[in-house]
């Protein structure tokens, strides 16, 4: 079974062609990552699926993705790597409308397996939120999609069923398909190119299969593109992202359904990463709030602080020293006063500042961190991060909870930041970290409060 390359091969006519590559699991050939094919569909109504985005490099479109918040795209992990932009709000590739967005960071699922395409997810965080007005966002939930549900896949893929021929539309295409159970999908077998093949043992819990009786099912869209459930109509129509186009055998083959990454299976990972890295996460995620963003952009922010009472676990004002951060860190400094504040700690370049371990009461499961900080000499790719001690790891490593950059706040001005995350265990320790690339990248910290709920 052959992997279909995630890059475009340019022939003399400069047409994009799909290339087969190394064997990635079972059998001898045929198994391909989905690229640029949407069979048996029709042109979508312009702006109806405006959450569908195009990943484009200097050659052109090579993968699809789904806008799930103003600065976050969900795509396929096998689409990742290399330099590219995200094109938003452009129905027709022959036009120049919409917006071309730069990529700030891409995060592949930590358990993605390239040879099996298990957990074929990648989150792409944009350099800034989109500003085009007519863009919708697809919702992400943990709702499990059962068999026999009507779903829609969209993309700018090849509309010719023949793998040796290409008919590439400029306009976004759509096709309705129907989900099938994972066991039925795993039992799929048949003849392709004169040889017998099957899906046996290849369909994991992170996958979702869909097909159509009229040969519309196996190569429906671009890698990374959306598979959605629709509800409502007109201006009230809503779209729930249930799958990410991943792989399949052949193209619109009667015996082999299309295989998608099942979004509900990794909802928790998606939510945690988006809450950490997005400046405008979906309101449905209930991410920790950011008080500075609320003051500066209260009309549009979606960050919320869970209601209810909070117990103060730690207050530190750094007057007289590091105080509750006495276990210190790497390269941190203390000042009796700085920038108009009494008692200030500093982290710079790659330095850290770690707190003592704090005990939680029975039943407390959420941690809220409020801090006052000032960014000095930051550049756009520098970050100030909040980490928590991961008690589940044998060597007690810190894991990242939230990072802020100049895209989220202002430089050389005291600002207040708030973030809420799940308590890692019955105890908590936080670490403040500067992730810069220059010795002059500094963050001053005036106050830190930790509360539990």
Distance of alpha carbon 405 from alpha carbon 276, whole angstroms: 12
Considering the candidates 78, 91, 109, 212, report the single residue annotated as catalytic: 78
Farthest CA pair distance, the chain: 79
User: d(Cα 299, Cα 392) in Å, to the nearest integer?
Assistant: 39
Strand pairing report for 189-192 and 226-231: unpaired
Contact indicator for 301, 293 with CB cutoff of 8 Å: yes
Q: Which residue out of 71, 85, 120, 370 is catalytically annotated?
A: 120
CB half-sphere exposure, 396, CA atoms < 13 A? 7
Give 299's Cβ-side CA count (13 Å radius). Answer: 0
Catalytic (active site) residue 231: no
Nearest to 243 by CA among 260, 255, 268: 260
Residue 406 to residue 435: CA distance in whole angstroms: 12
- Please, which residues have CB within 8 angstroms of residue 339's CB and are 6 or more apart in sequence? 374, 414, 444
Contact in structure between 350 and 431 (CB atoms under 8 Å): no
CA atoms of 246 and 198, how far apart (whole Å): 17
- Using a 10 angstrom Cβ sphere, with 0-12 exposed, 13-18 middle and 19 or more buried, the burial of residue 53 is buried
Output the DSSP codes for 127-156.
SS----TT----B---PPP-TT-EEEEEES
Is 78 part of the annotated catalytic residue set?
yes
**Catalytic: which of 5, 75, 188, 223?**
223
Which candidate, 343, 403, 336, 342, places its Cα nearest to that of 375?
403
E-strand ranges in 139-288 read 150-155, 173-180, 189-192, 195-198, 207-211, 226-231, 238-249, 258-262
Strand residues in 250-287 grouped as ranges (E) = 258-262
Please tell me the distance from the alpha carbon of residue 402 to that of residue 385, in angstroms, as a whole number. Answer: 6
Phi, psi of 185 (to 5 degrees): -65, -45
Q: Does an H or E element contain 267, and which?
A: helix 267-277
Return the active site residues. 78, 120, 223
């Amino acid at each position: 079974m052959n992997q279909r390359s995630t890059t475009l091969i340019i022939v003399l006519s400069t047409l994009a062609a799909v290339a087969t590559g190394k064997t990635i699991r079972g059998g001898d050939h045929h198994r391909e990552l989905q690229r640029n094919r949407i069979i048996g569909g029709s042109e979508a109504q312009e702006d109806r699926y405006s959450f569908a985005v195009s990943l484009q490099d200097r050659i052109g479109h090579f993968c699809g993705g789904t806008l799930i918040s103003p600065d976050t795209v969900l795509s396929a992990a096998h689409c990742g790597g290399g330099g590219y932009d995200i094109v938003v709000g452009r129905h027709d590739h022959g036009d120049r409308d919409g917006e071309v967005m730069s990529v700030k960071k891409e995060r592949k699922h930590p358990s993605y397996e390239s040879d099996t395409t298990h957990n074929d997810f990648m989150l792409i965080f944009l350099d800034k939120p989109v500003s085009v007005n007519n863009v919708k966002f697809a919702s992400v939930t943990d709702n499990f999609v059962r068999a026999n549900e009507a779903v829609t896949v969209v993309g700018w893929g090849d509309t010719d069923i023949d793998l040796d021929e290409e008919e590439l539309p400029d306009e976004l295409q759509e096709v309705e398909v129907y989900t099938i159970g994972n066991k039925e999908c795993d039992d799929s077998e048949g003849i392709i190119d004169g040889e017998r093949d099957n899906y046996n043992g290849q369909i994991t819990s992170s996958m979702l299969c869909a097909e159509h009786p009229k040969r519309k099912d196996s190569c429906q869209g671009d890698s990374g593109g959306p598979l959605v459930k629709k509800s409502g109509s007109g201006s009230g129509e809503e779209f729930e992202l249930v799958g990410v186009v991943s792989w399949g055998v052949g193209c619109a083959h009667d015996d082999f359904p299309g295989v998608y990454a099942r979004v509900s299976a990794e909802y928790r990972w998606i939510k945690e990463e988006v809450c950490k890295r997005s400046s405008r996460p979906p309101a449905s995620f209930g991410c920790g709030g950011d008080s500075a963003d609320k003051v500066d952009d209260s009309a549009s922010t979606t960050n919320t602080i869970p209601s209810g009472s909070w117990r103060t676990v730690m207050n530190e004002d750094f007057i007289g020293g590091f105080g509750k951060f006495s276990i210190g860190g790497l390269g941190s400094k203390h000042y009796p006063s700085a920038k108009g504040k009494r008692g200030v700690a500093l982290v710079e370049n790659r330095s850290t500042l770690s707190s003592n371990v704090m005990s939680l009461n029975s039943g407390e499961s959420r941690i809220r961190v409020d801090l006052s900080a000032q960014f000095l000499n930051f550049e756009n790719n520098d970050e100030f991060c909040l980490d928590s001690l991961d008690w589940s790891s044998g060597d007690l490593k810190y894991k990242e909870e939230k990072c802020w950059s100049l895209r989220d706040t202002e430089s050389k001005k005291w600002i207040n930041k708030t973030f809420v995350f799940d308590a890692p265990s019955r105890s908590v320790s936080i670490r403040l970290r500067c992730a810069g690339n220059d010795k002059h990248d500094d963050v001053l910290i005036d106050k830190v409060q930790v509360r539990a709920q």
